[in-house]
Structure 1
Amino acid sequence: WIIYAGIQFRPTGYKTLGMIFIPGFWILCILASAFISWIRKESNEVAPLVVAVVGVSILWVFLSPPHQGHGEASRRSACKNNLKMVGLALQNYHDVYSAFPSQASGEPPMSWRVALLPYMDQAPLFREYDQSADWNAAVNQPVAKRRIDNLMCPAVPREIQEGEYPYTAYVVPVGPNVGWQSQRAFSDKEFEDGVSNTIAVMEACGQQIPWAEPRDLPVPGTAIGMNLPGREPHRSEGIMSAYHRGGSHLLLFDGAVRFFHEDVDPAIVEALLTPNGGEVVIEF
């Protein structure tokens, strides 16, 4: 299972500093020149002081590092809160049915994300979904093309184009030896390793999975790594990928959300994927 490459997933679409610096610099120079000319007409004594102040201000603006920390921290916090909402919806679903939903239930299969809609303040939207039709059938397209903010990461720079299916940031591992099963509901009582040591949902923006599609990440079959390179811009083939600086989030079955750094040992991720592996994960 352990396939890892330490190559960072670098999505495109960001403006470079130079695109902002060059026109901004000349605009400030023109404004400063006009202001200094006016001051010189008013008082020859004030002019040198104004020149010094303007010069220092320009240097301070353009030599200071860009202040992106607050926006990035806000987006990361919002993403974490989204996963907490997903975790709460899973717990509420379990309280009602004494089991978590299957990864894809019914025929045709319906995604677990659709099954959670009533527990994410989206009950009317869930009632619009026709469970007798495919997720992308004409009757379900108005639902599948609806943007569900709690299933999206606000750090994703790519805008949804008209007519597209919105991609979710949150996917689940599915397979015979992980928590999620296809076409079978499961209870937290089945987790011998405990719900606090088993991954429920992972952030995987680079997989580009429409939120209503009953598709997630097969394990084995998906590389156990973070921000691995993809075949196209905004794509990553790893089991976790995000636009946050340095790592991505994951949700455990107890509702806790953790931020994993890019240099996390893949063996830790592998251990947390199995609900009954018996691995001892001391710190993560």
Structure 2
Amino acid sequence: SCKNNLKQLALALHNYESTHRVFPPGALGYPYVWSAHAQLLPFVEQAGLQNLLDYDVPPLNAFNSGSFDAAAVGQNDNAAKTKLAILTCPSDKESVPNSEYGGISYPACMGSGINGSAATDDGSNANADGIIFARSKIGFRDVTDGTSNTVAFSEQLLGDGQDAAPTGTDYKHRVVVLSMGTQTTPAACVPGSAPAWSGQRGK
């Protein structure tokens, strides 16, 4: 069940933090865009899959500009096609349509998307107020209001694979994509005013 999957991910977070003294970052910096989920693999009984990964090169072929060993990146790319039950909701599909890669129904939460003031109200993925974001180094010591009041993962539908403005019920399977630096205000996220849509993730 989704409840059990989220419970296992929360336990994995605790064990990761106990080992590394920080929670896994949401990315290690471009092009090393490894997700927190990839870094949690040995803590969800997937050490064998993690052993196939080389964290010193990009995770997917799409991020290899040619300056990295193609075979190493290719092996990462193949491993990313593994579909893991713990990462997908049993009532949702295993992956986004027309995608070879395993889906993730439980995205990590970077934070509120506000960052404290209007001047920084851009939902920056490198300066967020959550516990998992790009290059984050957040540990239990930094969660001053308690982990029971903190969101690490949430459930979200996988998208329909169509990167186009939705109509009707399509809104459930596509999300607004804001460019970096765009304020995450209600006005910026109004359907129709968004600069782009993605079918990689749903609501």
Q: TM-score range by the shorter chain?
A: 0.5 to 0.7
After TM superposition, what 4+ stretches of structure 1 lie above 4 angstroms from structure 2? 157-163, 206-209, 217-220, 228-235
One-letter amino acid matched to 1:88: L
Q: Deviations over 1:2-34 (max 9, x none)?
A: xxxxxxxxxxxxxxxxxxxxxxxxxxxxxxxxx
Q: How does 1:223-238 map to 2 (within 5 A)?
A: 236=202
Residue 197 of structure 1 is matched in structure 2 by 149
Residue 80 of structure 1 is matched in structure 2 by 3
Residue 92 of structure 1 is matched in structure 2 by 15
Residue 150 of structure 1 is matched in structure 2 by 86
Contact 1:168 1:208 in 2 (8 A): no
One-letter amino acid matched to 2:107: V
Q: CA deviation at 1:208?
A: 7.4
What is the rounded CA distance, in whole Å, between the counterparts of 1:105 and 1:200 in structure 2? 18
Contact 1:100 1:186 in 2 (8 A): yes
- Are 1:136 and 2:77 an aligned pair? no
Q: CA deviation at 1:154?
A: 0.8
- Are 1:127 and 2:51 an aligned pair? yes
If each structure's strand is expressed as a fraction of its own residues, which one has the higher value?
1
- Mark the CA change 1:199 to 1:93 in structure 2 (over 3 Å): closer, same or farther: same
Match among 78, 92, 105 for residue 28 of structure 2: 105
Q: CA deviation at 1:177?
A: 2.1
If each structure's helix is expressed as a fraction of its own residues, which one has the higher value?
1
TM-score scaled by length of structure 1? 0.45
Residue 137 of structure 2 is matched in structure 1 by 185
SS at match of 1:167: coil
Contact 2:26 2:133 in 1 (8 A): yes
- Are 1:172 and 2:108 an aligned pair? yes
Q: CA deviation at 1:103?
A: 1.1
TM-score scaled by length of structure 2? 0.62
Q: Deviations over 1:210-240 (max 9, x none)?
A: xxxxxxx9996487xxxx999687853xxxx
SS at match of 2:152: strand
Query: How high is the sequence identity, in percent, across the aligned residues?
Result: 28
Contact 1:93 1:116 in 2 (8 A): yes
Contact 1:105 1:112 in 2 (8 A): no
User: What is the root-mean-square deviation of aligned Cα atoms in Å?
Assistant: 3.4
- Range with greater deviation from structure 2 (124-133 or 149-158): 149-158
Q: CA deviation at 1:94?
A: 1.0
What is the rounded CA distance, in whole Å, between the counterparts of 2:185 and 2:2 in structure 1? 23
Q: Which one has a bigger Cα radius of gyration?
A: 1
What is the rounded CA distance, in whole Å, between the counterparts of 2:129 and 2:38 in structure 1? 24
SS at match of 1:86: helix
One-letter amino acid matched to 1:116: L
What is the rounded CA distance, in whole Å, between the counterparts of 1:208 and 1:172 in structure 2? 20
